[in-house]
Amino acid sequence: MKKKLCQECHTILIGRSDKKFCDTYCKTAFHNKNYRNNHEKIRYINDQLKKNRQILKVLSDAGIAETQRIKLLNAGFQFQYITHQSTASNKFDVRFCYEFGYMETLNGQVIILYDSNPGIDYADKLKLSFN
């Protein structure tokens, strides 16, 4: 009969024929390592979304409603990571990191917005004239 080994520490298993791990520590370590490897990209994206939100929040809390794109980039903001977006009636895209949004203007400025009621489409609330 072939001896089975623990999937984590590779020691010889004693007991049931369908046993895969020698103890709960090895079982937990194996599954945690597998989960961590499979979800590394998701964790990175979530961390970046939180960072983008925090940057927008700090600027918004400081009363800054408009800034330059380069300043956001220098702060570590990554424009490719957003939670959702809307298109306002003025054809500008409003991109969001959770409840904080931004619009990029044609001259390289970024207008920071706060959506106090994220259940309603922000584009419908944004009847501003940025023509």
- pLDDT tens for the chain, 131 residues long, are 678 999 999 999 998 889 999 999 999 999 998 888 778 888 899 999 999 999 999 999 888 889 999 999 999 999 999 999 888 766 778 899 999 999 998 888 999 988 876 555 555 555 443 43
Strand partners, 5: 12
Identify which of 123, 93, 121 has the alpha carbon closest to the alpha carbon of residue 106. 93
Report whether 3 contacts 21 (CB < 8 A). no
Pairwise CA distance, residues 18 & 15, whole Å:
9
In this structure, which amino acid lies at residue 119?
A: G
Residue 111 backbone phi and psi in degrees, to 5: -95, 125
